[in-house]
């Protein structure tokens, strides 16, 4: 058997719809206020995909940028993993749609769904393929068009989310470099706290569903909040332990962007000052699987990370699921 190796991030990219939806505009759609949204969540505005834009459109753009940054041609891509809860359609997989439009004819492809933790699950999966030498180059994409599954009459949810895509390319690295550890968790007993109840095989869309809005995101916000605050710190510490590092080694936290108060609580638990925490939810809201890769790509483009920096990527989401990864930049 061949020896294991590490995987590292060779390139990154993002794609965001042009359309900005501000809190002020939302005030005209539902009974809410800019003040409520900003103080409870930290969100000021979010991006909304055009009616003719689907997940694969945004995913393709993010993937092309990531490949260009990695200086890699499409022929080199061995596998495409797309994390999403809003695929173009039930099947074929959005990864296959991206593969075709990218022209990555050598690549295998599949979608993976783990709520807002989807990118961390996909990263962990891609890393294993590279580490085991099954593949050399894996494209990992997180993409969401959540605006399509929001009930625009429900102020509890419609103010929180946005659309976008982020992508990274993984390639081989010597052991001890790149992705140092991953940690994943799930608790299906909490699945009812955050779901889209209808549209699957349990409850296909019919007139009753349409009348009650069960095809849209439904959430118990305060319970999800408590769960999130608990697992963000725990998952980060577990991933650090697996990497053989302690808190003092952490350069930056790249958290899932759901709520500023959840991020602040995680940062406090990890004893990180705000300048060590990557935040973009004020501009994009919660983009589920796309939040972490977009935050990572933006911070990398701004030159935030220097070689050798230790990043902790951490998130939580529907499932319930959670996860973290420690990356040496």
- Cβ 8 to ligand ACO shortest distance, Å: 27
Tokens 């973009």 locate to 280
Q: Which of 23, 96, 158, 286 is catalytic?
A: 286
Nearer to ligand ACO, 321 or 325 (CB): 321
Helix, strand or coil, per DSSP, at residue 130? helix
Nearer to ligand ACO, 194 or 243 (CB): 194
263 CA to centre of own chain: 15
Nearer to ligand ACO, 27 or 128 (CB): 27
- List the beta bridge partners of residue 163: 145
Nearer to ligand ACO, 171 or 293 (CB): 293
Q: What is the DSSP string of 251-299?
A: -EEEE--S-HHHHHHHHHHTT--GGGB---HHHH-B-GGGHHHHHHHHH
First to last CA, the chain: 29
Q: Are 107 and 135 in contact (CB under 8 A)?
A: no
Nearer to ligand ACO, 11 or 317 (CB): 317
- Cβ 223 to ligand ACO shortest distance, Å: 8
Helix, strand or coil, per DSSP, at residue 24? helix
- Written as six digits, the tokens of 216 are 């849209």
- What is the Cα Rg of the chain in Å? 19
Helix, strand or coil, per DSSP, at residue 74? helix
The answer to whether residue 286 is catalytic is: yes
- Written as six digits, the tokens of 68 are 């260009």
d(CA 123, CA 107): 17
d(CA 24, CA 43): 12
- Cβ 194 to ligand ACO shortest distance, Å: 5
Nearer to ligand ACO, 100 or 156 (CB): 156
Q: Are 168 and 140 in contact (CB under 8 A)?
A: yes
- Cβ 78 to ligand ACO shortest distance, Å: 29
- Which chain residues interact with ligand ACO by CB under 6 A? 32, 36-37, 40-41, 115-116, 155-156, 159, 194, 219, 221-222, 224-225, 228, 258-259, 286, 288, 317-318
- Cβ 164 to ligand ACO shortest distance, Å: 14
Helix, strand or coil, per DSSP, at residue 260? helix
- Cβ 291 to ligand ACO shortest distance, Å: 9
The answer to whether residue 256 is catalytic is: yes
- Cβ 27 to ligand ACO shortest distance, Å: 9
Q: What is the dihedral of CA 120, 126, 130, 136, to 10 degrees?
A: -130
Q: Which of 116, 137, 158, 259 is catalytic?
A: 116
Nearer to ligand ACO, 43 or 54 (CB): 43
- Written as six digits, the tokens of 222 are 């305060």
Question: Nearest to residue 221, comparing CAs of 158, 157, 176?
Answer: 157
Q: Which of 23, 96, 137, 256 is catalytic?
A: 256
Count Cβ atoms below 10 Å from residue 310 Cβ, excluding itself.
Answer: 18
Residues with a catalytic annotation lie at: 116, 256, 286
């Amino acid at each position: 058997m061949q020896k294991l190796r590490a995987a590292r991030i060779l390139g990154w990219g993002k794609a965001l719809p042009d359309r900005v939806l501000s809190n002020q505009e939302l005030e005209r759609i539902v009974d809410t206020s800019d003040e409520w949204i900003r103080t409870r969540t930290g969100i000021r505005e979010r991006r909304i995909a055009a009616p003719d834009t689907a997940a694969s459109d945004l995913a393709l753009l993010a993937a092309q940028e990531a490949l260009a940054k990695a200086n890699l041609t499409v022929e080199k891509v061995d596998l495409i993993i797309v994390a999403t809860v809003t695929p173009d359609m039930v099947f074929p997989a959005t990864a296959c749609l991206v593969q075709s439009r990218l022209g990555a004819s050598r690549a295998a492809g599949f979608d993976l769904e783990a709520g807002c933790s989807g990118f961390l699950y996909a990263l962990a999966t891609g890393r294993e393929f590279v580490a085991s030498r099954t593949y050399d180059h894996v494209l990992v994409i997180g993409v969401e068009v959540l605006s399509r599954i929001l009930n625009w009459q429900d102020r509890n949810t419609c103010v929180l989310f946005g659309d976008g895509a982020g992508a990274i390319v993984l390639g081989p690295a010597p052991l001890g470099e790149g992705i140092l550890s991953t940690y994943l968790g799930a608790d299906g007993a909490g699945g009812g706290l955050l779901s889209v109840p209808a549209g699957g095989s349990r409850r296909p869309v019919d007139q009753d569903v349409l009348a009650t809005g069960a095809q849209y995101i439904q959430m118990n916000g305060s319970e999800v909040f408590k769960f999130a605050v608990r697992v963000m710190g725990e998952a980060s510490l577990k991933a650090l332990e697996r990497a053989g590092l302690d808190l003092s080694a952490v350069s930056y936290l790249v958290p899932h962007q759901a709520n500023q108060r959840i991020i602040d609580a995680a940062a406090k638990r990890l004893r990180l000052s705000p300048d060590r925490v990557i935040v973009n939810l004020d501009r994009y809201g919660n983009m589920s699987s796309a939040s972490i890769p977009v935050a990572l790509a933006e911070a990398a483009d701004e030159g935030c990370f220097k070689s050798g920096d230790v990043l902790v990527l951490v998130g939580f989401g529907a499932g319930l699921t959670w996860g973290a990864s420690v990356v040496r930049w």
